[in-house]
Amino acid sequence: MSKTIVTSALPYVNATPHLGNFVGSILPADIYANYLRMKGEDVIFICGSDMHGTAIEVRALKEKIEPEKLARKLHEDAKILFEKFRCNFTYYGNTHTAENKAVTDQIFLALHKNGYINEIQKELPYCNTDNMFLADRFIEGTCPFCGYESARGDQCDKCSALLEPKELKEPHCTICGKADITFKKTKNLALDLKKLQPQLEKFFSRNSGYNWSKNAINETTKYFKEGLKLRDISRHTRWGFPVALEGFEDQVYYVWFSAPIGYIGITKEWNEEKAGDYWLANDTKLIQFMGKDNIVFHTILFPGMLIGSNLGYVLPHTIKSYEFLNWEGKKFSKSRGVGMDMKDAISVVPNPDYWRFALMMSAPESADTDFTIDGFTESVNKMMNGKIGNLFQRVLTLIKANLEVYNPDTEMDQAVSGRLNTLINAYDELFNMINIRDALKVVIDIADTGNAFMNEKTPWMLAKTAKEDKKAAEEFSSTMNTLVRISYLVSVLMFPFVPDSAKKALRYLGLENDPTMKDLSKKPRLNINGEIRPVFEKLTDEQIREIRSYSQ
């Protein structure tokens, strides 16, 4: 059996992830991995905290704590949050481990041996106030391309341009806040992407047809047209892995280098023996989810490192890159009180399925989208509770109230059966294309089919005459068996999205274990002896008011 590695861009743990971070990579990756498991495929879902980088170092300096201690605390906090949101990782690790250090050194030394690491003389920013060289996040200024005033020394978060510190206009030190910066000559190491470009273009032309997002294709093509350049791989700072080369031990690897290698290192941390079965196998598909600000790191830098090392590691097969989710038309900002982070969200509305469902309905799969409070309320109250939950509740309670005339062996409506098969095929096809939001809409379509059928057949009216009328009893049973089938399909197919709610519903339908796609062909076995409790409930007015407070 072929294998699949699903990864999500490693969350940078310098702050609590907000809902835009969550829906931009981790949530769709989790849903997709759940779907593959339901199909019985050999899949691992690997993720972890990105522990290095100067943002951690800056915060540690401000809080007067060691970077490693701070990073480990933030990592544990992130793990707890993702557990609360029911993320079903095969393993959630982090990048500051012996395993990742070993793989990072291995790939670096192979690149060096193969002639892709260059020693360069550079002029780097030096803060005369703090008496130190400034790594990428220690220097900010105005982007020369789009005018964004908070661009970092390595990248502009607004236009995604890769930058050099000297390109910034009006730069200042993020540690002391002063602009007393000069550029001094120093010795660094760089990855020769220019030399790797022909091989990278072959990789791109060979793989970009496998469900790559349009923005990933466009962004990568743009860089190839401009021509790849040398990319610094080492820097003068102390938080990170020391470079494994004589004369450069006082420098560390850039976080962009060691972080994507973390996918391999985290897999080894999970299981050293099995890691090779996935990362070194010819039949493994590597499917990577990320936000659009991470595209170049996964379509050029990471595959370039793997190609140049020639160690046989699996290259990315599919790149699924999301646009940005905004909060009611504004960019998420903790300092400005705009939007909710994951910790805020789960404290206000503790049911993770409500967030998972609503966020996926707003997922920025092809364009920036808005998360709105009205949209969230509609997703929970009208779609989850009104369409899915209400259908489920009406079907089971109606059967329970009329058990003496209900025959579970009566054939269901064949016209509806054909419609359902079409929808199941559409669901499967959309998942195969990694159009996850549209797959969720199919689940809603199935529920809509059930609600329309119920309103058309009015089984509550049939039940009134079923005791005396054999034909009415038969039509009642056929109608209810059709509706039970619909409720069962909805419950199974919504599992990747809302696992807790799906399992809650399926217990009434005779399925105790996590559902599989094979279970779709099984006949539901009603378990309605006890109280039938709602699968979903509406948001309270108090919850809605509290969510609105994050838009002030």
- Residues in the chain, total: 552
> Which pLDDT score, from 0 to 100, does residue 335 have?
62
Question: pLDDT of 474-484, one tens digit each?
Answer: 999 999 999 99
CA dist 297 and 275 (Å) reads: 22
pLDDT tens-digit readout, 239-274: 999 999 999 999 999 999 999 999 999 999 999 999
pLDDT at 227 over 90: yes
Can you give the pLDDT at residue 99? 98
Q: What is the pLDDT of residues 338-389, one digit of tens each?
A: 889 999 999 999 999 999 999 999 999 999 999 999 999 999 999 999 999 9
Q: CA 446, 40, 6, 2 torsion: positive or negative?
A: negative
Phi, psi of 69, deg, nearest 5: -65, -45
What pLDDT, on a 0 to 100 scale, did the predictor assign at position 133?
Answer: 82
pLDDT at 118 over 80: yes
Average pLDDT over the chain reads: 94
Distance CA 260, CA 254 (A): 11
Instruction: Kindly report the pTM of this predicted structure.
Output: 0.92
Interval 314-331: pLDDT, tens: 999 999 999 999 999 888
Tell me the pLDDT band of 334, cut-offs 50, 70 and 90.
Answer: low
**Could you tell me if 345 and 141 are in contact, meaning their C-beta atoms sit under 8 angstroms apart?**
no
Domains of the chain with bracketed CATH: 3-106+253-343 (3.40.50.620), 116-196+205-235 (2.170.220.10), 372-521 (1.10.730.10)
Q: How far apart are CA 415 and CA 412, in angstroms?
A: 9
**What is the average per-residue pLDDT within 212-219?**
96
